[in-house]
């Protein structure tokens, strides 16, 4: 059995990564909007984002919109790949048909 990526294989972080994967490649979303989409508290979301950032799966950048600072969050190339591999692994667990055909 394939080892599932422990960084993504946690409900809250899986939701974060799945949401970010729905953005187009090269896009980032403002922290409060992501928080609203996920219905998570700011503190909770920050903790999970930190773990994902430490793994190199999300990129967090700070900019200014006018005079207010804004935090932008997006999936890194590596994070997108990790999410795709995780989803593949889950699908393989649910439908192991292709491996049955092998001798």
Partner 1 sequence: MTGPPISTLCRKVVCVDPDDDSPPTDAAAALRLIQDQRSATARRLDPDARLLYWPWGVAWLVGFGLFFLRFAPGDRALVPLPSWLPLTVLFVLLAAAGTVQAVVSVRAYGQVSGDSARRGQWYGYAWALGSVSVYAGLGRISEHLPHDLAALLWSATAVGLTGALHMAGGAVWLDQDLFRLGLWISVINLVGAFAGPGWHPLVVAVAGGGGILVAGALARRRQRQRQQP
In the complex, the residues that contact partner 1 under the rule CB under 8 A are 4, 9-12, 14-15, 18-19, 21-33, 35, 37, 41-47, 49-50, 53, 60, 62, 68-72, 74, 87, 90-91, 93-94
Question: What is the CB neighbour count within 10 angstroms for residue 32?
Answer: 12
| φ/ψ bin of 20: left (φ > 0), alpha (ψ from -120 to 50), beta (otherwise) | alpha
- Between residues 74 and 103, which has the closer beta carbon with respect to partner 1? 74
Distance CA 18, CA 8 (A): 10
Whose Cβ is closer to partner 1: residue 55's or residue 71's? 71
CA proximity to 52, closest of 75, 71, 29: 75
Q: What is the closest distance, in whole angstroms, from the C-beta atom of residue 103 to partner 1 in the complex?
A: 25
Q: How far is the CB of 81 from partner 1 (least distance, A)?
A: 15
């Amino acid at each position: 059995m394939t080892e599932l990526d422990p960084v993504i294989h946690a409900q809250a972080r899986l939701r974060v990564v799945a949401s970010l994967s729905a953005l187009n490649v090269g896009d980032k979303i403002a922290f409060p909007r992501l928080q609203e989409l996920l219905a998570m508290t700011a503190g909770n979301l920050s903790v999970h984002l930190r773990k994902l950032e430490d793994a190199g799966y999300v990129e967090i950048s700070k900019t200014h919109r006018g005079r207010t600072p804004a935090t932008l969050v997006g999936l890194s190339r590596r994070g997108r790949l990790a999410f795709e591999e995780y989803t593949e692994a889950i699908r393989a667990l649910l439908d192991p048909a292709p491996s049955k055909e092998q001798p």
